[in-house]
Structure 1
Amino acid sequence: MRAEPESEAKGGGGTRPRTRVRAKVPLRRSLLVRLLATSVMIAVCSVAATAWLAARTTSSAIQQEQGQLLSSDTQIYDTLVGYAATHRDWTGVAPTLRRLAGRTGRRITLTTQSHRPLATSAASVATLPTRASAVVDPLHTDAALLPGTATDRIDPRAVGPYRLTAAERKSLHIMAEKILSCVGGPTGVGTLVEAPSGRTSIRFPDSVLGGSARDYGCGVDQLATPVRTEIGPLNRLNTLVNDCLEHQNQQALKVGIDFVVRTKTGAQASQTCLDTARRDQLTSYVAPAALLYVTTPAGSAAAPGFRFTSANTARLAGVAGLVLLVTVAVTVVVGTRLVRPLRALADAARRPVEEHQRVPVTTNDEIGYLAAAFNDLSQRRERVEGQRKAMVSDVAHELRTPLSTIRGWLEAVQDGIAISDQALVDSLLEEALLLQHIVDDLQDLAEADAGQLRVHPEPLRVRDLLDHVATAHQARADTATVSLTTRVDGDPELSGDPVRLRQVVGNLVSNALRHTPAGGSVTLRARRVGDQVTIEVADTGTGIPAEDLPRVFDRFWRAEKSRSRRTGGSGLGLAIVRRLTEAHGGTVTVTSTVDAGTVFTVRLPV
Structure 2
Amino acid sequence: MRHRNRDGRTRPPLRKSLLGRLLLMSALVAACSVTATAWLASQTTSGAIKQQQGRDLTADTRIYNTLLGYAAGHPHWNGVQETLHDLAQQSERRIVLTTQNRQLIADSTDHTTPPELPPQASAVVDPLSVDTTLTEAAGTANRIDPRAVGPFSLPTTERKALRKAADDNVACLSRLGIAADVVQAPSGRPRIQVVGTHTTAPRDTGCDTDTLDRPTNTEQKALTALNELVDACLDRQNRPGIQLNLDFSWARAGTSAYDLATTPAPTLAPTLAPSPVPSVPSERTGIDSEAARAAASCVDTSRREQLGSYVAAPALLFITDPSGTTVPGFDLSPANTARIAGVAAIVLALTVGASLLAGARLVRPLHALTGAAQRMRDGEEPETVPVPEDNEIGRLAAAFNDMSAHRARLEEQRKAMVSDVAHELRTPLSNIRGWLEAAQDGLATPDPTFVSSLHDEAVQLQHIIDDLQDLAAADAGALRLHREPVHIDELLAQVAAAHQAGADTAGVTVEVITAERAPTPTADPVRLRQAIGNLVSNAIRHTPAGGRITLHAYGTHDGQETVIDVTDTGTGITPTDLPHVFDRFWRAEKSRNRRTGGSGLGLAIVRKLAEAHGGTVSATSTKGEGSVFTLRLPTAPDEGPQ
2:529 to 480, 486, 502: 502
Deviation at 1:368, TM superposition (A): 2.3
Q: In the alignment, what sits opposite 1:524?
A: 551
Q: In the alignment, what sits opposite 1:580?
A: 609
Q: In the alignment, what sits opposite 2:228?
A: none
**What does 1:462-541 correspond to in 2, within 5 Å?**
462-489=488-515, 490-529=517-556, 530=558, 531-541=560-570
**What does 1:418-437 correspond to in 2, within 5 Å?**
418-437=444-463
> Is residue 3–residue 12 contact of structure 2 (8 Å, CA) maintained in 1?
no
> Which whole-Å CA distance do the structure 2 matches of 1:576 and 1:334 have between them?
52
2:25 to 33, 38, 44: 38
Distance change >3 Å, CA 407–CA 459, structure 1 → 2: same
2:331 to 286, 310, 320: 310
> Which whole-Å CA distance do the structure 2 matches of 1:54 and 1:28 have between them?
34
Check if 1:324 corresponds to 2:311: no
1:394 to 395, 417, 420: 420
Distance change >3 Å, CA 21–CA 470, structure 1 → 2: same
Deviation at 1:400, TM superposition (A): 0.7
> Is residue 3–residue 21 contact of structure 1 (8 Å, CA) maintained in 2?
no
Cα offsets for 1:311-360 (capped at 9, x unmatched): 79869767655543432222122122223333333343443532333322
> Which whole-Å CA distance do the structure 2 matches of 1:56 and 1:541 have between them?
92
> Which whole-Å CA distance do the structure 1 matches of 2:550 and 2:9 have between them?
67
> Which whole-Å CA distance do the structure 2 matches of 1:31 and 1:407 have between them?
62
Q: TM-score, normalised by structure 1?
A: 0.52
Check if 1:379 corresponds to 2:405: yes
- For 1:516, the aligned partner's letter is T
Check if 1:556 corresponds to 2:580: no
> Which whole-Å CA distance do the structure 2 matches of 1:347 and 1:595 have between them?
51
Q: TM-score, normalised by structure 2?
A: 0.49
Q: Secondary structure at the match of 2:590?
A: coil
**What does 1:231-242 correspond to in 2, within 5 Å?**
none
- Using the TM superposition, name which of 341-350 and 465-474 deviates more: 341-350
- For 1:339, the aligned partner's letter is V
> Which whole-Å CA distance do the structure 1 matches of 2:19 and 2:566 have between them?
64
Q: In the alignment, what sits opposite 2:362?
A: 338
Cα offsets for 1:543-590 (capped at 9, x unmatched): 122221111111111123223234221111000000000111111111
Cα offsets for 1:8-43 (capped at 9, x unmatched): xxxxxxxxxxx9654247369833321111112222
Cα offsets for 1:360-416 (capped at 9, x unmatched): 223332222233233333322222221111111101110011111111111111111
> Which whole-Å CA distance do the structure 1 matches of 2:39 and 2:523 have between them?
71
> Which whole-Å CA distance do the structure 1 matches of 2:15 and 2:419 have between them?
45
> Is residue 486–residue 525 contact of structure 1 (8 Å, CA) maintained in 2?
yes
- Using the TM superposition, name which of 354-363 and 393-402 deviates more: 354-363
> Is residue 537–residue 601 contact of structure 1 (8 Å, CA) maintained in 2?
yes
**What does 1:434-449 correspond to in 2, within 5 Å?**
434-449=460-475
Structure 2 stretches lacking a partner, 5+ long = 45-328, 636-642
- For 2:555, the aligned partner's letter is R
Deviation at 1:542, TM superposition (A): 1.5
- For 1:335, the aligned partner's letter is G
> Is residue 573–residue 623 contact of structure 2 (8 Å, CA) maintained in 1?
yes
Distance change >3 Å, CA 574–CA 39, structure 1 → 2: same
> Is residue 480–residue 518 contact of structure 1 (8 Å, CA) maintained in 2?
yes
- For 1:357, the aligned partner's letter is E
> Is residue 3–residue 23 contact of structure 1 (8 Å, CA) maintained in 2?
yes
> Which whole-Å CA distance do the structure 2 matches of 1:483 and 1:25 have between them?
71
Q: Secondary structure at the match of 1:512?
A: helix
Cα offsets for 1:421-451 (capped at 9, x unmatched): 1111111011100000000000001111112
> Is residue 507–residue 545 contact of structure 2 (8 Å, CA) maintained in 1?
yes
Structure 1 stretches lacking a partner, 5+ long = 6-18, 58-307
- Using the TM superposition, name which of 441-450 and 351-360 deviates more: 351-360
**What does 1:444-459 correspond to in 2, within 5 Å?**
444-459=470-485
Q: In the alignment, what sits opposite 1:118?
A: none
Q: In the alignment, what sits opposite 2:384?
A: 358
Distance change >3 Å, CA 546–CA 22, structure 1 → 2: closer
Q: In the alignment, what sits opposite 2:76?
A: none
Cα offsets for 1:261-310 (capped at 9, x unmatched): xxxxxxxxxxxxxxxxxxxxxxxxxxxxxxxxxxxxxxxxxxxxxxx962
Q: In the alignment, what sits opposite 1:237?
A: none
> Which whole-Å CA distance do the structure 2 matches of 1:375 and 1:540 have between them?
43
> Which whole-Å CA distance do the structure 2 matches of 1:580 and 1:464 have between them?
20
> Which whole-Å CA distance do the structure 1 matches of 2:2 and 2:42 have between them?
50
Deviation at 1:48, TM superposition (A): 5.0
> Which whole-Å CA distance do the structure 2 matches of 1:596 and 1:377 have between them?
39
Number of residue pairs the alignment of both structures matches? 344
Q: Secondary structure at the match of 1:451?
A: coil
- For 1:579, the aligned partner's letter is K
> Which whole-Å CA distance do the structure 2 matches of 1:22 and 1:549 have between them?
45
> Which whole-Å CA distance do the structure 2 matches of 1:574 and 1:588 have between them?
9
Q: Secondary structure at the match of 2:499?
A: helix
Q: In the alignment, what sits opposite 1:69?
A: none
Cα offsets for 1:234-283 (capped at 9, x unmatched): xxxxxxxxxxxxxxxxxxxxxxxxxxxxxxxxxxxxxxxxxxxxxxxxxx
Distance change >3 Å, CA 357–CA 422, structure 1 → 2: same
> Which whole-Å CA distance do the structure 2 matches of 1:27 and 1:323 have between them?
23
Deviation at 1:473, TM superposition (A): 1.6
